[in-house]
């Protein structure tokens, strides 16, 4: 899990204030200048960063703390150690170095046809 980015978002979330807007939605403000809407149920923020990188953005982290939650619980499974281990369970076989590669001296000769056979087919 990219902890550094999540920790950075936790630090940046201190600049924001969340207000409950009903249901699972929160309005997150930055000194009453900029507003974002965070929906905890759909895991979506109006800044679209949460949907893009699947990590809670600073606005979402602020809303998660206002909801008495843990931001790590809202990180997608693709960042978990179990998913990483499952993806790389098969090993990649090593290959030989350049000095052991076999060289080919026989090349295949390609012949080209003359004329526009494709255009002739289109005209008829």
- Residue-wise pLDDT for 84-93, tens only, equals 889 888 877 8
pLDDT tens per residue across span 60-76: 999 999 999 999 999 88
Q: Using CA of residue 15, residue 20, residue 21, residue 24, what is the dihedral sign?
A: positive
Cα separation, 30 vs 9, whole angstroms:
14
Percent of the chain at pLDDT > 70 equals: 90
């Amino acid at each position: 899990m990219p902890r550094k980015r999540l920790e950075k978002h936790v630090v940046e979330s201190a600049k924001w204030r969340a207000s409950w807007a009903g249901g699972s939605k929160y309005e997150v403000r930055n000194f009453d200048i900029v507003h974002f809407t965070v929906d905890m149920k759909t895991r979506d923020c109006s800044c679209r960063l949460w949907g893009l990188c699947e990590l809670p953005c600073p606005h979402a982290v602020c809303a998660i703390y206002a909801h008495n939650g843990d931001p790590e619980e809202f990180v997608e499974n693709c960042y978990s150690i179990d998913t990483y281990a499952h993806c790389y369970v098969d090993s990649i076989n090593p290959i030989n170095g350049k000095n052991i590669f076999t060289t080919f001296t026989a090349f295949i000769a390609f012949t080209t046809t003359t004329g526009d056979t494709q255009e002739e087919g289109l005209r008829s």
